[in-house]
Structure 1
Amino acid sequence: MTKWIDISQRLTNDMACWPGDTPFSFSLTYSKEQTGSVNIGQMTASLHTGTHVDAPFHYDDNGKTIDQLDINRYIGRAVVIDVSHVEKITANVLQEFDLDGVKRLLLHTSLPNNPKRFPDTMPILDPDTAPYLKEKGVILIGVDMPSVDPADSKNIETHQALYKHGINILENIMLDHVQTGTYELIALPLSIDGADGSPVRAVIRPIKESGNLYD
């Protein structure tokens, strides 16, 4: 049986976080020696730590929270494409690929996977990709970057464009070790009441193009 491939960042106390955001921290609250039976850990973190899903509430006060999202969008057939040859990903760039029938699109960009360093610059995902992806039927886009917008963006135009066109967002996936092709994806967010996002354990496994996997 084909093995699952982990494309999520491991949560570590020395991982990079968004500048100014709450860093990830894990520690033992009580040891087995203290309780006499079990170790009990605790963690603190931003909901946008590592590999994570954005909920519309992240950028729209009236948007759906993470617990209100359709989980089916995060499970199913996904296609990985390599756009590492460009620093600005536009609709014209995406037209180089056959995206007919693709519902979940994962972009391998030129940004090297390095969870312990927040990048100084990131490739640009142009807002004009949103209407094109909508036209193709894409409902989820994943990127191997901390955000679909530049770190210094205040208008977050790409977030807003994807939202307007009904496309959910998965960020900070790890694709340096992944070949292009068609996969089964599972990247479920936690059901956190009222939350603006959630870390996920994102995994994929290759499937044949002719496979009859659910959408």
Structure 2
Amino acid sequence: MPYEMIADYTIRRWYVQEQEILTNETYQPDAGAPLRKILIAAAIRNPYAGRFSADLGEIVDGSDKLGEAFAQRILAALGGAKAESYGKACVVGAAGEYEHGNAFITARFATPIRAVLPGAKEWIPSTGKRSGPGALIDIPLAHMAELYARSFYDTMTVHFDDAPNPDEIIVAFVVATRGRIHARLGGPEAPAAG
């Protein structure tokens, strides 16, 4: 089969991207482990491409199954490491509406992911846009258990070399293993990792 089916979604391509940050921008390490940021994303055919529909159920209804697939891929990419922050995004091809992308990343999609990440209880920051192949997007991150922990406010900039096609949507999720290196702006503390 040249593509993968999850629920009623046709997936053309999966993406995994990882960054390992060793120091801050002025080459100052700190006492913590390196910061790992990991992206899992999928290029999915948009069932509403080129048409308007008041009902977006063809996307929303199976999004929990998509979330389960993302959850398993996130755990595999973490390889036993613990995620402490997360974020999500969508990139909609030119034949779709921004609302189509948002329909993929509701709480219904996110709940199975949150369920496999110990301590995850806060809402997940998100962003999205319309674009074409070669899309770049900055995905925001926040702590999974303490939304106002400033040291975890961050982004991961990701690139999709061949997506989205006009009739596709990229659904993306990012996790990170710690806050920014040498974050020093104060504010609420994140709960101790455990």
TM-score greater than 0.5 by the shorter chain: no
TM-score normalised by structure 2 residue count = 0.31
**1 or 2, which has the higher helix percentage?**
2
